[in-house]
Chain A
Amino acid sequence: MTSYLVRRIVGMVVVILLVLTIAFVIVRLAPGDPAALMLGPEATPQDAVELRARLGLDRPILVQYLTFAGNALRGDLGTSIFFNRPVTEVLAGRAEPTIFLALMSLAIALVIATPIGIWAAYRRGSWLDQGAISTAMLAASVPSFWTGLMLQRWLATELGWFPAAGYGGPDADFLERMRHLILPAIVLGIVNSALILRFTRASMLDILGEDYIRTARSKGMPERRVVLRHALKNAAIPIITIVGLTFALLVSGAVVTERVFNIPGLGNLVVSAVLRRDYPVIQGTLIVVASLYVLINLLTDLLYLVVDKRVRY
């Protein structure tokens, strides 16, 4: 177990180093000079040279890379060209809406998907099962910006139940900020519930055909207990996997939804950073998101251990 954890953590570091390298290379391969972009069309070539020197962009590429990697590993992701503040600070300021949006939409997705998925598997072939699958397909194929715009119009503009967009201004308290996330969370929840529903249904279908489910029935227990105790626990591993992946994707920023609802999260930040050629911010976001991704994956794998005692690492 300990050696497994050590191996996994070494693996994580390797992945993060790779991401670091790729982030560095990709950003430099992209066309456009950040110094010229920052200074605007009025600037003289002399200004550009000075700025490039100040940002370290005139040094050999290898030196730039080693400085960048060394600093990143120590937790210093550089300074944002646009905000002129440390990247870590910029990211931290944008993390709250994204993380809470991810948590809320995952909760909504689970509340929709697991009961329907279980019920559809239990009543396989029925109109409810077929209806659930078709609805899930539909929900997954409708683009989230469309769902977002429709819900905005209906629930925010017409009914006035939720704020239409934004994150409640600088003085908004926590509850007010969360209220702004409900609508986008519903959009993301619907989209992501489709996948979780299908996985839950498929996994439950497999398990409900197992011999030990028949044994459970032969003990004379209510069907509810057969399904929720004996089947669901066994069906949980694929469900946990897909939930972990969904969560990781959500944390990496729901770009479109954040754009539609104008939420100052990581997704919005990274889009603006790309448009502004704010290299340090792009790199920093990539690294943080990749780290979160591998971390969530590790946590998912560790969760298997809790559920299934046959799993050994």
Chain B
Amino acid sequence: MSATAASEPVLEIEGLRVAFRARRSAVTALRDVGVALGAGRTLALVGESGSGKSVTSLSVMGLLPRNGAVEAGRILYRRRDGTRVDLARLDETRFRAIRGREIAMIFQEPMSSLNPLFTVGDQIGEMLLLHTDLDARARRRRVIEMLELVEIPAAASRMNAYPHELSGGMRQRVMIALALVCEPALLIADEPTTALDVTIQAQILDLMRRLQRELRMAILFITHDMGVVAEMADDVAVMYAGAVVEAAPVATLFARPSHPYTRGLLATIPRPGRPRGERLVPIPGSVPALSAMPPGCAFAPRCPIAVEACREPVALAPLEGDHRVACHLAHAHETVAAHG
């Protein structure tokens, strides 16, 4: 993390705990999540499904499902005017002025995330209607401008198209135009390319990077794809079973993955440099159910190197500089290295 980003993060999540009420019980979906995202930077939240990355993003948006609630922790967001607000405790009316205008979100499914009964121009223009004083003509001009910015050809006529008349890639471009039309300071992208073809995926990632530079916005990028992480992120937080298990600048994480789960994730990506015939290593087992968390390290039951100490709870702790990891063994090695 650069010095400026560290000193004035746009988003700082501290000790976030989120729980969902079920019929009779409650399950904790996020346990003590803490991450920070500097202005103009990209933080990737990585993990398998069920690791809590989407819940984290929905908490930031204040869009948790009705049965979910923030139980502890803070989500500090620095507004455009420099004031800081805790999104976890912001009332709905004030939140609405931030949501969409300052913090916008792109969702995973371009096919179902746009309303089928309104034209794309209408849906993008609605953002301006909600958050600006622009009149109908000015809104129209701005919508066309945005569609051109996301490289949709024939923007002026495409704005009258309905979502079903566009391809998946085009729809995701529309979603991006919609999210960025108010020039948000923070964009949350929840697996924005997962549902797309690889070639389209590359185009969309390029587009997002270019717009990020032009609009100087921070991106919270949620993905399970380490390849996408390498391409997009400045910093990475690896999540497992509702907690951050390792966080580091992207280069550090790829060079020295210190949590066995992170190493496992990296081992699952095929890479051209590897010798032919080398086997990809899957991580055995599956994420424990949120209602049946092991008492100690949540990864211990699947961990190839777990020892007795792993039955004790473990917290995220600094390893070296910005590199933090939640693993007894990683810290033990460090201690051994420092003293030996």
Are A219 and B112 in contact, CB atoms less than 8 angstroms apart? Answer: no
Number of interface residues of B (CB under 8 A): 28
By a CB distance below 8 angstroms, the chain B residues around A211 are: 107, 109, 112-113
With A218-B63, A220-B130 given, is the CB distance from A212 to B115 under 8 Å?
A: yes
Interface string of B98-141 (1 = CB under 8 A from A): 11110011010100111111100000001100110000000000
By a CB distance below 8 angstroms, the chain A residues around B104 are: 218
Q: Tell me, rounded to whole Å, the shortest Cβ–Cβ distance linking B125 to chain A.
A: 11
Are B96 and A308 in contact, CB atoms less than 8 angstroms apart? Answer: no
With A220-B99, A222-B96 given, is the CB distance from A214 to B107 under 8 Å?
A: yes
Q: How many angstroms between the C-alpha atoms of A216 and B178 in the bound complex?
A: 11
Contact of B115 among A218, A234, A307 (CB under 8 A): A234
Within 8 A of B (CB), among A194-244: 210-212, 214-222, 230, 233-234
By a CB distance below 8 angstroms, the chain B residues around A216 are: 115
A7 on the interface (CB 8 Å rule)? no
Are B63 and A212 in contact, CB atoms less than 8 angstroms apart? Answer: no
Q: What is the chain A residue whose CB lies nearest that of B164?
A: A310
B97 on the interface (CB 8 Å rule)? yes
Q: Is the interface of A mostly helix, strand, loop or mixed?
A: helix
By a CB distance below 8 angstroms, the chain B residues around A217 are: 63, 99
Are B96 and A221 in contact, CB atoms less than 8 angstroms apart? Answer: yes
Q: Tell me, rounded to whole Å, the shortest Cβ–Cβ distance linking A311 to chain B.
A: 10
By a CB distance below 8 angstroms, the chain A residues around B130 are: 219-221
A54 on the interface (CB 8 Å rule)? no
With A219-B126, A220-B130, A220-B131 given, is the CB distance from A210 to B112 under 8 Å?
A: yes
Q: How many angstroms between the C-alpha atoms of A211 and B54 in the bound complex?
A: 14
Are B112 and A212 in contact, CB atoms less than 8 angstroms apart? Answer: yes
Contact of A212 among B95, B113, B162 (CB under 8 A): B113
Q: How many angstroms between the C-alpha atoms of A222 and B95 in the bound complex?
A: 10
Within 8 A of A (CB), among B44-102: 61, 63, 95-101
By a CB distance below 8 angstroms, the chain A residues around B99 are: 217-220
Q: Tell me, rounded to whole Å, the shortest Cβ–Cβ distance linking A162 to chain B.
A: 41
By a CB distance below 8 angstroms, the chain A residues around B118 are: 230
Are A234 and B117 in contact, CB atoms less than 8 angstroms apart? Answer: yes
Contact of A218 among B97, B105, B131, B162 (CB under 8 A): B105
Q: Tell me, rounded to whole Å, the shortest Cβ–Cβ distance linking A176 to chain B.
A: 43
A74 on the interface (CB 8 Å rule)? no
Q: How many angstroms between the C-alpha atoms of A219 and B126 in the bound complex?
A: 8
Q: What is the chain B residue whose CB lies nearest that of A221?
A: B130
Are B98 and A220 in contact, CB atoms less than 8 angstroms apart? Answer: yes
Q: How many angstroms between the C-alpha atoms of A308 and B119 in the bound complex?
A: 11
Q: How many angstroms between the C-alpha atoms of A234 and B61 in the bound complex?
A: 24
By a CB distance below 8 angstroms, the chain B residues around A309 are: 117, 162, 164
Q: How many angstroms between the C-alpha atoms of A217 and B104 in the bound complex?
A: 11
Q: How many angstroms between the C-alpha atoms of A211 and B108 in the bound complex?
A: 10
By a CB distance below 8 angstroms, the chain B residues around A233 are: 117
Q: Tell me, rounded to whole Å, the shortest Cβ–Cβ distance linking A146 to chain B.
A: 38
How extensive is the interface on chain A, given as a class? Answer: 10 to 19
By a CB distance below 8 angstroms, the chain A residues around B109 are: 211
Q: Tell me, rounded to whole Å, the shortest Cβ–Cβ distance linking A168 to chain B.
A: 45
By a CB distance below 8 angstroms, the chain B residues around A214 are: 63, 107, 113
Are B97 and A220 in contact, CB atoms less than 8 angstroms apart? Answer: yes
Q: What is the chain B residue whose CB lies nearest that of A310?
A: B164
By a CB distance below 8 angstroms, the chain B residues around A210 are: 112
By a CB distance below 8 angstroms, the chain B residues around A212 are: 112-116
Contact of A230 among B96, B112, B115 (CB under 8 A): B115
Q: Tell me, rounded to whole Å, the shortest Cβ–Cβ distance linking B331 to chain A.
A: 39
Are A220 and B101 in contact, CB atoms less than 8 angstroms apart? Answer: yes
Q: What is the chain B residue whose CB lies nearest that of A223?
A: B92
Are B117 and A307 in contact, CB atoms less than 8 angstroms apart? Answer: yes
By a CB distance below 8 angstroms, the chain B residues around A310 are: 116, 162, 164
Q: How many angstroms between the C-alpha atoms of A308 and B116 in the bound complex?
A: 8
Q: Tell me, rounded to whole Å, the shortest Cβ–Cβ distance linking A309 to chain B.
A: 5
Q: How many angstroms between the C-alpha atoms of A179 and B7 in the bound complex?
A: 75
Q: Tell me, rounded to whole Å, the shortest Cβ–Cβ distance linking B192 to chain A.
A: 13
By a CB distance below 8 angstroms, the chain A residues around B107 are: 211, 214-215, 218
Within 8 A of B (CB), among A255-313: 307-310
Q: What is the chain A residue whose CB lies nearest that of B99?
A: A220
By a CB distance below 8 angstroms, the chain A residues around B96 are: 220-222
Q: How many angstroms between the C-alpha atoms of A216 and B114 in the bound complex?
A: 9
By a CB distance below 8 angstroms, the chain B residues around A220 are: 95-101, 130-131
Are B117 and A218 in contact, CB atoms less than 8 angstroms apart? Answer: no
Q: How many angstroms between the C-alpha atoms of A210 and B114 in the bound complex?
A: 10
Q: How many angstroms between the C-alpha atoms of A211 and B175 in the bound complex?
A: 12
Are A215 and B114 in contact, CB atoms less than 8 angstroms apart? Answer: yes
By a CB distance below 8 angstroms, the chain B residues around A307 are: 117
Are A215 and B113 in contact, CB atoms less than 8 angstroms apart? Answer: yes
Q: What is the chain A residue whose CB lies nearest that of B63?
A: A217
Contact of A215 among B97, B115, B117, B162 (CB under 8 A): B115
By a CB distance below 8 angstroms, the chain B residues around A219 are: 99-100, 126-127, 130, 178
Q: How many angstroms between the C-alpha atoms of A234 and B175 in the bound complex?
A: 19
Q: How many angstroms between the C-alpha atoms of A309 and B63 in the bound complex?
A: 29
Q: How many angstroms between the C-alpha atoms of A221 and B109 in the bound complex?
A: 21
Interface residues, chain A, with chain B CB atoms under 8 Å away: 210-212, 214-222, 230, 233-234, 307-310
Top 9 A-B residue pairs of the complex, sorted by shortest distance between their CB atoms: A220-B100, A220-B99, A211-B112, A219-B100, A212-B115, A220-B96, A218-B105, A211-B113, A215-B113
Interface residues, chain B, with chain A CB atoms under 8 Å away: 61, 63, 95-101, 104-105, 107, 109, 112-118, 126-127, 130-131, 162, 164, 175, 178
In the assembled complex, 8 residue pairs joining A and B whose CB atoms fall closer than 8 Å, in A order, are: A211-B112, A214-B113, A215-B107, A215-B175, A219-B178, A220-B97, A220-B131, A309-B164
Apart from A219-B100, A230-B118, 19 more pairs, CB < 8 Å = A211-B107, A211-B109, A212-B116, A214-B107, A215-B113, A215-B114, A215-B175, A215-B178, A216-B115, A217-B99, A218-B63, A218-B107, A220-B101, A220-B130, A221-B96, A221-B100, A222-B96, A234-B117, A307-B117
